[in-house]
């Protein structure tokens, strides 16, 4: 099968059905694009406060730790909620998961809009918390979407593109807020700039939510590969048993620890980047954003290339 072209094959399967018809749909790329935009908008919200931490701290007159928590809340809610979210995805499928997640993403963005008053930081943080909860409906989707919609020679690339959306959102989150929200002694001007930022994010997330509701399809009519056809025929899996199999797998545990260390350092650096840069270079908020942008962009190309290489070689180790 070639990418972008519909193709059909007849395959014998080892389950209760005799012949399974498989097909790659061109609209799989639309499904992937919709998820990329959703993931991008959620990741943007993650870093939009931290990269202008000094300005937000001055405007709301709160300790810097409060601003750090606008980022850390994403990680804190992830720990207890990722397992229920994974179970939810298995039970209800991609469409319902993305609709609920993008709705929460949209609601969180709109809650921030009326919070542009110096005494309403708690409202802004509440909106950020809703967006953080919506993030659990982002992180576990790329692999599932790639498996359900894409052929065996495209799965790794599709998964990489799904992750790319999150990286792109972070990159824009580093770049745009320092440009819009300037560090000025006029608090009224800061409030107006924050409102412009919040309205922009709310508008984008609304369009994304409505587009997902109208166009996103959870499952193609025919499976993309014989392996996916077999998976469909097996029905529901035992979620707890799947988790147990992962926990007792040494290779998975090594991957878990190594990835956790890597992403932990990345999140910590991203959260504190504004404060680190301004400690040495006062008034360089936009440069802090550009440094963050450089960090993310330098990894985006590698992510996509690794996806292509893995599809060709299947040498995951």
Provide the residue ranges of all domains of the chain, joining segments of one domain with +.
24-313
Domain 24-313: CATH architecture, name and number where available: Up-down Bundle (1.20)
Question: pLDDT tens for residues 9-35?
Answer: 444 444 444 446 888 889 999 999 999
Q: C-alpha distances in angstroms, 73 versus 1, 2, 129, 205? A: 43, 42, 6, 20
Instruction: Return the pLDDT at 90.
Output: 87
Are 171 and 303 within 8 A, CB to CB? no
pLDDT band at 237 (very low <50, low <70, confident <90, very high): low
First to last CA, the chain: 25
Angle at 150 between CA 23 and CA 148, to 5 degrees: 90
Rounded distance between C-alpha atoms, residue 307 and residue 154, angstroms: 9
pLDDT surpassing 60 at residue 308: yes
Q: C-alpha distances in angstroms, 149 versus 27, 75, 117? A: 9, 29, 45
Q: Which contiguous run of DSSP H or E holds residue 106? A: helix 94-112
- Of 37, 96, 46, the C-alpha closest to 71 is 46
Question: pLDDT tens for residues 252-303?
Answer: 888 889 888 988 998 998 999 999 999 888 888 889 999 998 888 887 777 7
pLDDT surpassing 80 at residue 238: no
Rounded distance between C-alpha atoms, residue 262 and residue 139, angstroms: 16
């Amino acid at each position: 099968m070639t990418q972008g072209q519909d193709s059909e094959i007849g395959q014998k399967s080892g389950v209760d059905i005799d012949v399974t018809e498989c097909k790659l749909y061109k609209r799989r790329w639309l499904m992937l694009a919709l998820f990329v935009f959703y993931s991008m908008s959620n990741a943007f919200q993650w870093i939009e406060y931290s990269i202008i931490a000094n300005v937000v701290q001055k405007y709301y007159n709160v300790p810097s730790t409060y601003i750090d928590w606008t980022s850390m809340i994403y990680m804190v809610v992830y720990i207890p909620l990722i397992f229920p979210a994974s179970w939810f995805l298995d039970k209800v499928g991609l469409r319902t998961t993305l609709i609920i997640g993008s709705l929460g993403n949209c609601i969180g963005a709109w809650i921030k809009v009326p919070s542009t008053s110096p005494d309403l930081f708690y409202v802004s943080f509440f909106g950020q918390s809703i967006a953080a909860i919506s993030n659990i409906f982002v992180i576990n989707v790329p692999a599932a979407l790639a498996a359900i919609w894409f052929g065996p020679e495209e799965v790794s690339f599709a998964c990489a593109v799904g992750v790319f959306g999150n990286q792109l959102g972070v990159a824009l989150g580093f770049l745009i807020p320092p440009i819009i929200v300037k560090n000025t002694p006029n608090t009224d001007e800061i409030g107006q700039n924050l409102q412009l930022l919040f309205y922009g994010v709310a508008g984008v997330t609304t369009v994304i939510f409505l587009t997902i509701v109208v166009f996103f399809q959870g499952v193609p009519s025919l499976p993309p590969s014989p392996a996916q056809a077999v998976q469909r025929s097996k029905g529901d899996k035992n979620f707890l048993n799947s988790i147990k199999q992962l926990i007792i797998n040494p290779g998975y545990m090594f991957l878990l620890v190594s990835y956790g260390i890597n992403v932990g350092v990345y999140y910590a650096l991203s959260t504190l980047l504004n404060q680190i840069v301004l400690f040495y270079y006062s008034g360089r908020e936009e440069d802090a954003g550009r440094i963050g942008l450089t960090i993310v962009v330098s990894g985006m190309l590698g992510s996509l290339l690794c996806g292509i290489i893995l599809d060709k070689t299947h040498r995951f180790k």
